[in-house]
């Protein structure tokens, strides 16, 4: 809200997260006239319980299985048609879930980099996560639900047009950051990372806010290097895979006094990763994103369409001079994580 503007108490919305009275904007992104909550008073607790029961019933009936996908589900996608699997990797709070949510959000406004949205099998999961992230953007305080520990969760998009060609499925793997961090201490943990083994691209997030922190920046560099080293040591990566190294929270970085130092740190981390792992990946490319900015410094989703294009591009030929041979000579072998009989070779 601009200085001097007043809160209009007469404007109300039944959605407790919405601040339309202050900023004139619907938190769900609707035009005010078409928002089902605008103009209504917040529901009484009893009514809210009834509404929530009704909503749950609607979701159960209308959106069966619209939550995140399991590795088994992704294996079915791989069998069904051309699919790109992306492992989004990084410590807690790096911005993994926000990045995935922001891509779905970008499609709300139409095609992204010439690629159109066709459908998603994880609509409910996207909607829930995007709601949190939109609210967080408006409030300026963290509100993206912490990704629970456990197995990887995949978000799914069916895309068409542009680099996606006629039809291309995208499966984005999200996992609690503590588990990636744990792999830095105990590399054997990474053996269970199905999303990494089946990935076309790994996407390593570099938390821009941690790069701004004088005390945390060196630690971050070591931690990210150790995570990748763990994946390499356990044979979880292969030379057909591409690696995106993504500086997140670009809005915070660009407006900070330490912006130049953070950019230099990012460049030197990139150089270190190329030196250590350049021979093990088909490609290592840098990106910079502001998936869920906290200020108006940059629009929501800045840099995400470039990253999506990288994700959708076909895997290029493995580098010739690699230290490790590819683990999977045939694309079919990617299906193995799904309890398949191992007998036939
Ligand atoms: N300033 C800023 N904050 C962000 C951005 N993206 C995510 N965040 C915040 O960073 C925190 C962690 O994000 P989250 O997506 O949950 O990280 P994850 O633990 O890696 O999944 C949340 O408070 C987000 O609102 C961004 O582009 N800019
Ligand atoms: Mg998360």
pLDDT at 133 over 90: no
- Give first-to-last CA distance, the chain, whole Å: 64
pLDDT in tens, 12-55: 888 777 778 877 887 777 778 777 778 887 655 555 555 555 55
Indicate whether 274 pLDDT > 80.
Answer: yes
Choice from 87, 91, 92, 93 to test ligand 1 binding pocket (greatest atom count within 8 A of CB): 93
With a 6 Å cutoff on the Cβ, whether 96 touches ligand 1 is yes
Kindly give the number of the ligand 1 atom that is closest to the alpha carbon of 102. 6
Supply the pLDDT for residue 40. 80
Protein residues near ligand 2, an ion, with CB under 5 A: 96-97, 147
* Cβ neighbours, 10 Å, residue 142: 12
Q: Say if ligand 1 is within 6 A of residue 90 CB.
A: yes
Print burial letters for 266-298: b (CB count within 10 Å at least 16), e (below 16): beebbeebeeebeebbbbbeebbbbbbbbeeeb
Q: What is the CATH code for 71-331?
A: 3.40.50.300
Q: Would the pTM of this model clear 0.95, i.e. be above it?
A: no
Of the pLDDT bands very low, low, confident and very high (cuts 50, 70, 90), residue 139 is low
Best substitution site from 68, 93, 98, 297 to test ligand 1's pocket, by max atoms within 8 Å of Cβ?
A: 98
Q: What is the pLDDT of residues 64-122, one digit of tens each?
A: 568 999 999 999 999 999 999 999 999 999 999 999 999 999 999 999 999 999 999 99
């Amino acid at each position: 809200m601009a200085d001097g503007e007043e809160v209009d108490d007469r404007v109300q919305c039944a959605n407790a997260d919405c601040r339309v009275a202050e900023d004139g904007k619907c938190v769900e992104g609707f035009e005010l006239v078409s928002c089902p909550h605008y103009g209504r008073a917040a529901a009484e607790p009893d009514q809210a319980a009834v509404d929530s029961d009704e909503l749950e019933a609607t979701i159960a009936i209308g959106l069966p299985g619209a939550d995140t996908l399991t590795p088994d589900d992704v294996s079915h996608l791989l069998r069904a048609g051309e699919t790109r699997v992306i492992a989004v990797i990084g410590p807690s709070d790096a911005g993994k879930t926000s990045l995935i949510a922001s891509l779905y959000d970008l499609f709300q406004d139409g095609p992204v980099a010439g690629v159109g949205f066709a459908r998603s099998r994880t609509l409910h999961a996207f909607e829930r996560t995007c709601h949190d992230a939109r609210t967080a953007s408006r409030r300026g305080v963290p509100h993206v639900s912490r990704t629970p520990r456990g197995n990887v969760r995949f978000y799914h998009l069916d895309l068409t047009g542009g680099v996606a060609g006629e039809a291309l499925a995208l499966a984005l793997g999200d996992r609690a950051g503590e588990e990636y961090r744990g792999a830095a201490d105990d590399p054997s943990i990474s053996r269970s990372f199905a999303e990494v083994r089946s990935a076309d691209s790994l996407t390593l997030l570099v938390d821009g806010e941690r790069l701004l922190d004088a005390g945390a920046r060196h630690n971050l560099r070591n931690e990210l290097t150790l995570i990748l080293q763990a994946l390499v040591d356990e044979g979880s990566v292969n030379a057909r895979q591409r690696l995106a190294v993504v500086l997140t929270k670009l809005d915070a970085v660009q407006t900070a006094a330490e912006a130049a130092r953070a950019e230099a740190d990012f460049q030197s981390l990139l150089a270190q990763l190329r030196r250590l792992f350049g021979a093990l990946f088909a490609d290592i490319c840098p990106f910079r994103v502001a998936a869920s900015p906290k200020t108006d410094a940059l629009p929501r989703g800045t840099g995400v369409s470039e990253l999506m294009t990288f994700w959708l591009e076909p895997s290029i030929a493995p580098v010739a001079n690699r230290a490790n041979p590819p683990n999977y000579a045939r694309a079919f072998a990617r299906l193995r994580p799904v309890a398949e009989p191992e007998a036939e070779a």
